[in-house]
A and B are shown apart, each in its own frame.
Chain A
Amino acid sequence: MKRFSLSLLLLILAGLNSGGCRDKETMAPIVLGETVRNRANAGEQDFGPPWQESAVLRLPNHGQLVWLSEEGRERMDLRLMIPLPSAKEGKISAAAIEVVFAVLEKQLRFRGRTASLRLTRNDRPGRIEFAFHGRADQLRHALFLIGQSFAASPNAELLSETQGQFVAAWVDNPVDHSIAAQVSKLLGISKRSLYGTRGDFAKLDRKSLQKAWKLLTRANRSTLVVHSHAPNEESQRSLEALAQRWSDKKSDGPQPLQRLFQPSARTQAANSEAPSLRQTPIQLAPSKVLSPTGRITWLASRRLHLPDAKSRAFARLAQRTLQHQFDVRLTIHNKEAIWQIRCDLSPEADIASDELRYYLGSLDQALHERLFHDRVHQAARTWLGARLVENSLKGEDWSVLWSESLDLSSKRSEIPLAMQRNGERMMKAELKDFETWIQANIDPSLSRGPWISQVIFAETATVEALNKARTQAPPEED
């Protein structure tokens, strides 16, 4: 039941919208004949799929369709992307969202299994994705199953049964809770929409679940991404049938694809007056449970503004070069990212403060030591290669790469080439620029925040000791 990861917690505000109702009127035919020819990858090396043709269109039910054609493809991957609700769409708690998606997942998985369709669920920043994988001729069936599940009225019994399962099985995780608190503060969004406690699940009433169901299953908010051979008459008919079954009368708000992009953040960007990580006081995160490992966890986060492909490449490169030594995590969504550092420390105040001094000292050292081209280049090669190889092993599903490209783009037109640009920037990173970027953004002593620094499972005395230690030099080694 612990489905929340940082990716989900990085809930990005979706656009303006309000609830809609369904009708069963006859839809206009869908014409998939015209495809957009994207610019081919023109670099020396290819870092993404050669998706040279794609069709992007609005379905008669106001949902969006992206069709990635590949000649001779015998398989199909059908990805449904559903943005998480924005603040303006009403206050919907993370618990309600989780229950609704769990019910949808259960239905899709059960129905898909009978048709030998494999279902995967991906929790990405600001959205949830369901994907069916199967043979190309199973697309009709996969679309039918999506229509069947998403067009249905909320099943109160099933929702309440699933809610009960969450209440029974949910284990509150103070680390996840703390991450939610940090992300909420950094992005200026409600913490309740990021993380649900067992109490939140228990408090859910029928009305709030139905409200969440109606919003999250709206066709007008959803984007379908298909990777298969070029569309034919049968796929056209299947899409028409889907649009007819899963209809949405209103086309209010931004286009579904636009909702997947992060709107301009409401919080202040990094400023030169904000304290660095070392200057930021460490706070005690509330926790009602004891540490499962007996150690305390220090967690520091900051928001990174990544306006272009170059800065996104630098952020990933920095994470990859540090990752072999430190627990550093990075989630990128369009122009924003969350950078996070974690470290487990001793519960003893003295030892913990020494460990923190040593850790910050090592981090300083790693960031200030001279970067070698080979090391940075190697980090880029491994990351970019693994991204392609992993996708190939999982069946060469372009829809998931399209989803990754979306996170690496600032606007819709950038999506087709985002992966290629990202790869090129990473491979051709200038060391001097990279070092400057590191100092300005992630250096614990030099970069200006806002940073948020918390310690979990600790006692007040330990927090005080850590606050003294954070500005001190690392201890002398014996």
Chain B
Amino acid sequence: MLASLFCQLSLSLATPTQAETPRETTAAAQPGAPVPSGPAVAESEAPGLSEGKSDPKEPQATVRTWQPLPAGAQEASVLSAVLPCGLRVIIGQDRSLPVAAVVLGVPSGEGDDPGRNPGLVHALAYALQMGNRELSPGAALDEVYDSGGFAEMAVGAGQSRFESLIPQWSLKGVLRVEADRFSTPTLSKPLWLKSLQFAAQDRRPPHAPHLPQRALAYDDPAFLRDGRVVLPPLAEIPLTALSRYLAQHFRYDRSTLAVVSSDKPYHTLKNLSAIFAKVKKTPRSAPAPRKVAAVAPAPAQSTDDKGWWVRPLPADPAARELAQVLCETLNRPHKEPGGPTLQPLGCIFHDDPSHPFLQIPRPVDGPDLKTRMSALSSGKEDKALAELAKRVQKRRRAALSSALAKARHLVNLPEWPLSEQGTRYALHSALGAVYIKQAGLGEQGAAIRALFDELSLLSPSSYRLLRPKPKPKAKKN
């Protein structure tokens, strides 16, 4: 469904010039009111999110629709809005089954742990399940489980997510829970200790990247600390400090809520706005897009054969898609005409939504990164590159086949507004999985190479070399 939406959008965004100047409109998107057609994103104040006459006292939401709008906002397949409480909501539709996926993404993760207290954000995410002024302990999970639903919590490098998949008829109940999730949390010593107990039982998934690689890629020693540990000092943190930290990080005005349901997005947005109306009004204070740090010069060629090349990536779906293409290209054997066969490089793409990075082991025998990149830059592999890009796109689109997968995808779309980021790159970022197709480059490997260059993925100097620490010699008795 999303794919078709993106394709629809592509029709209206055929040229970069159009995309750079998205038309904004202030027309009210009242039910039944015609919404002016625009090339891309129509942004509007929407006092009429509820039926009938609008109440001037009623909270108002800024609505953006992401498709051509001749049929009106109420027909849009995906809607984005910023609610009066500062929460960004992105609402999609999946009519495959009468289910709804709700994902609340908070831009705080393991990387935000204070230096002295690794594991704090992870434990606080559990503390939020312990109830608050509005919810009894475990009530958020009960709401989901009682309707046969599925609930999950994910804490990554720079993001925490609260996810639910429920039957459609339970959507309102779960949205009410989300509207209460950050209400003044009930913090007490016993509940905090219980949260720590739960957090201590959590295990890092086996495929998670090693900490030193990510720390080096992002040049951030904060990642060297394990964000899943529960150390005794966590239990000693004063409750006032915990409250302060919760209020600082777990806030609606920094967060994004993605909802994918079988209902029309316009109806969902209407219900959602009414439910979140009770949350205190706050201007949006989204964190600034993270910039990939300037890269240090490539280290001198070393005779040391061990180690990894690492490379951070912008946290947007387009860059992640391109990195996938590059990684799969590097993982294929390559034969130079008349030359030796270059062995696969064993590239690993750590697809973290907030801190993605590439990791390429330095082979003992075989081509170095530079040799392989220059082979790619020469353009001799363009045809294969285009073919592979097509396959990667198909796979990524097919992976978005369920409501929860779509909601996870939507919650990770970069912050708008397009009007401020009218470049081709920003536009493509929003489109995510159809990046290459949108640019009209699907058949041309050369154009994909150009996009690699744009991200300097082909430049070996943009990679950092991590050498493992030498093992300490065993003491002789």
Interface residues of A (CB under 8 A from B): 45-50, 70-75, 134-137, 378, 381-389, 391-393, 395-396, 398
Closest to A44 in B: B169
Q: How far is the CA of A137 from the CA of B397 in the complex (A)?
A: 12
A46 to chain B, nearest CB (A): 4
B98 proximity list for chain A (CB < 8 A): 45-50, 388
Whether A381 lies near B402 (C-beta < 8 A) is no
Considering only residues 400-422 of chain B, those with a C-beta below 8 Å from chain A are: 400-404
Whether A392 lies near B95 (C-beta < 8 A) is no
Residue among A49, A136, A392 making CB contact with B398, cutoff 8 Å: A136
Q: How far is the CA of A137 from the CA of B169 in the complex (A)?
A: 34
Whether B3 lies near A389 (C-beta < 8 A) is no
Whether B397 lies near A389 (C-beta < 8 A) is no
Closest to A380 in B: B148
Whether B96 lies near A70 (C-beta < 8 A) is yes
A66 to chain B, nearest CB (A): 17
A-B interface, 8 closest residue pairs, ranked by CB to CB distance from nearest: A385-B148, A386-B148, A46-B98, A385-B167, A72-B4, A385-B147, A396-B96, A135-B398
The verdict on A388 contacting B148 (CB below 8 Å), with A49-B96, A73-B401 known, is yes
Q: Could you show 21 A-B contacts with beta carbons less than 8 Å apart?
A: A45-B168, A45-B169, A46-B98, A47-B98, A48-B98, A50-B98, A71-B4, A72-B1, A72-B4, A73-B96, A73-B401, A74-B394, A135-B394, A381-B167, A385-B149, A386-B149, A388-B99, A389-B167, A392-B403, A393-B150, A396-B97
B189-205 near A? 1/0 per residue, CB < 8 Å:
00000000000000000
Best-surrounded residue of B146, B402, B403 (most CB of chain A within 10 A): B402
Chain B interface size, as a band, is 20 to 34
B124 proximity list for chain A (CB < 8 A): none
**Does any Cβ of A come within 8 Å of B89's Cβ?**
no
A45 proximity list for chain B (CB < 8 A): 98, 168-169
Residue among A46, A73, A382, A393 making CB contact with B146, cutoff 8 Å: A382
Whether A384 lies near B150 (C-beta < 8 A) is no
Whether B394 lies near A382 (C-beta < 8 A) is no
Considering only residues 76-91 of chain B, those with a C-beta below 8 Å from chain A are: none
**Does any Cβ of A come within 8 Å of B170's Cβ?**
yes
The verdict on A396 contacting B394 (CB below 8 Å), with A72-B3, A74-B3, A388-B99 known, is no
Residue among B165, B169, B397 making CB contact with A74, cutoff 8 Å: B397
**Does any Cβ of A come within 8 Å of B370's Cβ?**
no
**Does any Cβ of A come within 8 Å of B61's Cβ?**
no
Closest to B394 in A: A135
B35 to chain A, nearest CB (A): 23
Q: How far is the CA of A455 from the CA of B262 in the complex (A)?
A: 49
**Does any Cβ of A come within 8 Å of B166's Cβ?**
yes
Best-surrounded residue of A46, A48, A74 (most CB of chain B within 10 A): A74
B169 proximity list for chain A (CB < 8 A): 45, 385
A77 to chain B, nearest CB (A): 10
Q: How far is the CA of A389 from the CA of B95 in the complex (A)?
A: 14
B171 to chain A, nearest CB (A): 11
B400 proximity list for chain A (CB < 8 A): 74
B95 proximity list for chain A (CB < 8 A): 50
Closest to B149 in A: A389
Q: How far is the CA of A135 from the CA of B402 in the complex (A)?
A: 13
Whether B97 lies near A388 (C-beta < 8 A) is yes
Q: How far is the CA of A49 from the CA of B401 in the complex (A)?
A: 14
Whether A137 lies near B146 (C-beta < 8 A) is no
**Does any Cβ of A come within 8 Å of B395's Cβ?**
yes
The verdict on A392 contacting B165 (CB below 8 Å), with A49-B96, A50-B95, A135-B394 known, is yes
Q: How far is the CA of A71 from the CA of B169 in the complex (A)?
A: 23
B93 to chain A, nearest CB (A): 11
B398 proximity list for chain A (CB < 8 A): 74-75, 134-136
Whether A392 lies near B404 (C-beta < 8 A) is yes
A72 proximity list for chain B (CB < 8 A): 1, 3-4
Q: How far is the CA of A383 from the CA of B149 in the complex (A)?
A: 10
The verdict on A389 contacting B146 (CB below 8 Å), with A75-B401, A396-B97 known, is no
B101 proximity list for chain A (CB < 8 A): 392
Whether A378 lies near B148 (C-beta < 8 A) is no
Closest to B405 in A: A395
A48 proximity list for chain B (CB < 8 A): 98
Q: How far is the CA of A378 from the CA of B142 in the complex (A)?
A: 12
Q: How far is the CA of A391 from the CA of B403 in the complex (A)?
A: 11
Q: How far is the CA of A223 from the CA of B343 in the complex (A)?
A: 45
Q: How far is the CA of A136 from the CA of B3 in the complex (A)?
A: 13
Whether A396 lies near B401 (C-beta < 8 A) is yes
Using A74-B3, A388-B148 as known contacts, list a sample of 19 further A-B pairs with CB atoms less than 8 Å apart, ordered by residue number in A.
A46-B262, A47-B98, A49-B97, A73-B96, A73-B401, A74-B397, A75-B398, A75-B401, A382-B145, A382-B148, A384-B148, A385-B170, A388-B167, A392-B96, A392-B99, A392-B165, A392-B402, A392-B403, A393-B402
Q: How far is the CA of A393 from the CA of B152 in the complex (A)?
A: 12
A135 proximity list for chain B (CB < 8 A): 394-395, 398
Closest to B170 in A: A385
Closest to A116 in B: B395
